[in-house]
Structure formats: C-alpha cells, structure tokens
Structure 1
Amino acid sequence: MSLKTYLIFLCLLFNLSLHAQRKREYLGWSLVWSDEFNVEGKPNPDNWKFEKGFVRNHELQWYQPDNAYCKKGKLIIEGRRESRPNPNYEPNSQDWKKNRKDIEYTASSLKTQGLHSWKYGRFEMRARIDTRAGLWPAFWTLGVEGEWPRNGEIDIMEFYRGMLLANIAWGSETRFKGVWQDLKKPIETFEDRRWGKKFHVWRMDWDEKAIRLYVDDELLNFVELAQTVNRDGTNINPFMQPHYILLNLAIGGDNGGDPSATKFPAKYEIDYVRVYQR
C-alpha cells in the first residue's frame, strides 16, 4: 500500500468514526435549525438581526453590523479599538449611552429575535473565545415575552476576567432584579493549559423539567424548572415559553474588566450554532 493510499484510508476511517460518534450523541434528537456559516460575507439575514449602539451593562463597545462576517466556514465577531464621535452624545445627559462623547471600541451582537425561537431542546455552539483581559463573549437566550429578567435569561456561555460562566436567571420580587442560579469556573482549573486557544462545544439541554448547561460534555450548571417561577406573584415560569438566541462580544462594562492593555482586534470565532428537539 502506497503512502498516499494509506493516508486516504486513515481519513476515511476518521470520518466514519466521527459520523458514528455524532450519530450516537444525537440519538433521539432531530436537528430543527442551524447556521453553519458556510457562505462567505455577512451573516444570513434570515437567521440574524443586529443590536446597534450602546446597549447594556455600561459596556464600552458600540455595537454595529460591520464587525460580524463569515469567513472559511466560521462566523467572526470582531472587537476593535477605534475612536469616533458618539452620534447620540448629549453633554448634560444622565443616560450613560448619551453622555459618552466618543466611541472607543466597536463589536457586534447578533440575535434571532423575531426570526427564530424555540421552546425546549438542545442548543449547541462550537466556538473559540478570546480569553484576554476586558473581553466578554457570550452565547445566551432570552424569552420572547416579558421584560428582563421576568422573561428569563440563560447564559449557555459567558466569559470574563478569567472565568467561564453558565447562568440561569428569572424574576425576583423586585422589578429588574434577577434571581440567579450561577456558576463561575476559572479556566485555570481546566487540565489543558492551552484551553483558551482551542475550540470548544457549549450545550444546553432544556425540557419541561430542567435546564442543564455543559462545556465539552462537562456539566456546569443545573436547575429544575419547579424552582424558576417568577416571584412577582404572576406565577409565570419564563422557561416554559420560547427563547431566542444571542451571540455577542462585549468589551469592559460592569463585568468585562479592563481592556486597555489588550491588543485589538479581538475575535470570537463560531463554527456553528445548532438547535435540536426530541
């Protein structure tokens, strides 16, 4: 057998093994939606909308569509350090979105809101995140009905300040204050010293009884839906309604840390996002 034939044989064996592994992993699940990001250029407008401007958490980045693009089978969300005037600037405003004279950073936030939403299922993303200071990538969901947090928030993946997070939040007795079932795992606790340089698979398994959040098949967080009823007297459970997906790269803000010593651009690279249901 020639070396070329041998290498082809090895590739076939690997592909067959990979196919069999995926078939076992997803036994009992049907793929109902996905974006594989295989078309070069802008993200598919049938799947994604963009948030724009300064949005939440006193973050430093100005969200704009220009920082998201598909290249070589991946969605790239790029954080950039760039300075320009804030078009909404009002010098005497008490609104943090308006009293900033300048934009110092830009990035993108994509969401399926108004396009796609799902009640229960397996939500999965394969991605590589930038773990340097000041960066705050996320893969999360929000309920389609109600104001935050009474609509329910599920953080399948967040990262900031050296910690990987997997969180679930619902409404407390106080408006705009959440009840959190949260998990923070320092990435230094992973045995792989190069963990932050590699692609990983984040997953949520969500049904009428519980939510489970994973990274690379390691269970990070779990909550029973019997515990997640909003505490405002309405008896509404925000995780018994459809949710939509968000993908974003935030910079700084309330939790993201200080990006001043980080070299830009920064990249959040997403291989695919998939939703399965039983």
Structure 2
Amino acid sequence: MRTLILLLIFIGLTRPNTDSKNKKSGTSYNKLAFSDEFDIAGRPDDQKWHYQVIPPNNGSWHNDELQHYTDKEDNSHVSDGTLKIKAIKEQYSYNGSTKEYTSVRLNTKFAFTYGRVEVRAKLPGTAGTWPAIWTLGTNINETGNYFGDQYGSVGWPLCGEIDIMEQTGWDKNSTISHFHWGDLNTEVYNDEGGEIAVVNASSEYHIYSMEWNSDSIKTYVDDTLVHEFQNGSNKPFNHEHYLILNLAIGGNLGGNVPVNFTEDIFEIDYVRIYQ
C-alpha cells in the first residue's frame, strides 16, 4: 500500500502541467502580458489602445480602402462586455481629404516578441466589409502609428506583417491568414498563407489566435490550424510587433460595397496576449 501511495505521488509530481502549456505547440505561454476584456463601458481604454487616424497614403489609406479611420465614439465603443468597431456610411473629411465611409483602426500600446495571441470576435456580415486582426513590426514607422520611429524605420514589408485573421468582402463563409515580409538579406518581397471555412463567423463568436516563436508561427480559428509559417533569421518575425484591430471598407479585399450599405459592426469579446 505504501509503495502504491509513493508511486501515485511520484506520478503527480512528474506529470506535465497542461493547464499552463500550449497543447498544440508545446511552448509554455503562461504569463498574461496584455489583455482587454472590454468590461468598462465607453471609449476603448486609452492606456491600452491608440487610434490611428492619419492617412499614410496621400490623404488615403493603402489597398484602395474607401474609409477614413476616426477616433469618434460612434465608430468604436465598449458596451455589454464587448468592443464594437462600427463602419458607417457617412461623409467625413480629414485634412482636406473626403471619404464616404468611416471606421476605426486601433493599435495596441504594447510591443511584444513571441507568444500566443487570442482574440474572440464576431465578424461583420455585409458585403464590402474587410475586418482584420493582425500585427506589424514596430520598426515600420508608418505615419500616425503609436510607436513612430522608436524601434527603427525600415518600412513595409521589411517590418513584417502577420495577418492572424482577415475576411474578404465577398466571401463571408471563410477567413484568411497571411504573412507578408521582405527578406532581411535580399529585401525581396514574399507572401504566403491559408484559408479556412467559418460559415457562421458573423453570427457566432470564434477565437482567432496565433502561436509565435523563433521556429514557426501558427494561426488558428478556434483549435483548427489555418497556416503554419516557418520562421527564420532572414525573416522579420524575431523582433517586436504590435497588434492591430480594424474594419476597412472596400479596397483590395473588401471589394464592391452595396449601394444600400449603411453600417456594420466588428465585435470583439476579448484580446489576450500570453508570453
């Protein structure tokens, strides 16, 4: 009996702690380094989020997007435990540039290298909307971003871009995960990615996540792998990135916007970054 008890104690002491270990990659991400549960009503927490509102492309946004991003509470607010990012059809001018739609682009005021990102979200269902959960290298120094040139100024794509989740404006039954980067040795542009069916993305919440280390970057919807990217020393994914939440209208992945479009919402339940 005493031998059995000792054996059970030994098994208990040597059993791995799966609660604090990422079950898919085996990498431990047990420290919650950044989070927002969106449990305080009103504007997003300005200690955590930065509104990026200055158009970086001669009064417009890249990718032929049709909106201006604003810091108006009409376009983003927290209520009933979720963040609502709302795209609205309305004429809006910024520094002499007028657009027919408004929306929001939020940067985290948190830079990180490696870890696990989880965003539980419900996506807009209207054609022409282009929601995204993604990261950029902090050394991009893009006009109006939070970090400026604090980490450098290499521009895009040498900064690296990780699209954890994007959804096109013409296919609301699937989502995309994609990687864009410039080779650090040759500066040649590269991209790769994957796609997954998510037939109820606009009516149900799903967890869009990323696991990132020096060897690989894996993206998931819920627990299903979307794409595995092989990291390396010649790729710009071994330095600080920051997370972005935005809802674009039209553009390369938004496509045609219906003439009767009035508004739609990208709803986020929580954002968590573990390291």
TM-score by length of 1: 0.76
Q: Is the 8 A contact 1:133 1:262 kept in 2?
A: no
Deviations, residues 88-109 of structure 1 (Å, cap 9, x unaligned): 24xxxxxxxxxxxx32000000
Question: For 1:201 and 1:84, how far apart are their aligned partners in 2?
Answer: 33
Are the structure 2 counterparts of residues 117 and 24 from structure 1 closer, same or farther at C-alpha, using a change threshold of 3 Å? Answer: closer
Task: Describe the SS at the equivalent of 2:63.
Answer: coil
Match of 2:133 among 128, 133, 139: 139
Aligned to 2:105: 109
Task: Describe the SS at the equivalent of 1:37.
Answer: coil
Aligned AA (2:203): K
Aligned to 2:124: 130
Aligned AA (2:254): G
Question: For 2:256 and 2:271, how far apart are their aligned partners in 1?
Answer: 29
Match of 1:221 among 218, 222, 227: 227
Match of 2:69 among 63, 75, 85: 63
Deviations, residues 175-211 of structure 1 (Å, cap 9, x unaligned): 6x731111133x4xx5xx5343110000100011100
Q: CA RMSD in A?
A: 2.2
- Which runs of 5 or more structure 1 residues have no equivalent in the other structure? 1-21, 90-101, 230-236
Question: For 2:44 and 2:94, how far apart are their aligned partners in 1?
Answer: 25
Q: Taking every aligned residue pair, what percent have the same amino acid on both sides?
A: 35
Q: Is the 8 A contact 1:250 1:256 kept in 2?
A: yes
Question: For 2:255 and 2:47, how far apart are their aligned partners in 1?
Answer: 34
Structure ranking higher in helix proportion: 1
Q: Is the 8 A contact 1:169 1:179 kept in 2?
A: yes
Question: For 1:194 and 1:241, how far apart are their aligned partners in 2?
Answer: 35
Aligned to 1:30: 31
Q: Is the 8 A contact 1:134 1:262 kept in 2?
A: no
User: Per-residue deviation at 1:262?
Assistant: 5.2
Residue correspondence of structure 1 range 91-240 to structure 2 within 5 A: 102-112=98-108, 115-145=109-139, 146-160=154-168, 161-162=170-171, 163-172=174-183, 178-185=189-196, 187=197, 190=198, 193-226=199-232, 229=234, 237-240=235-238
Question: For 1:142 and 1:159, how far apart are their aligned partners in 2?
Answer: 18
Question: For 1:265 and 1:170, how far apart are their aligned partners in 2?
Answer: 33
- Which runs of 5 or more structure 2 residues have no equivalent in the other structure? 1-17, 140-153
Q: Is the 8 A contact 1:132 1:262 kept in 2?
A: no
Are the structure 2 counterparts of residues 195 and 255 from structure 1 closer, same or farther at C-alpha, using a change threshold of 3 Å? Answer: closer
Q: Is the 8 A contact 2:67 2:249 kept in 1?
A: yes
Task: Describe the SS at the equivalent of 1:182.
Answer: strand
Aligned to 1:248: 246
User: Per-residue deviation at 1:85?
Assistant: 4.7
Q: Is the 8 A contact 2:68 2:92 kept in 1?
A: no
Match of 1:82 among 85, 90, 101: 90
TM-score by length of 2: 0.77
User: Per-residue deviation at 1:150?
Assistant: 0.5
Aligned residues: 228
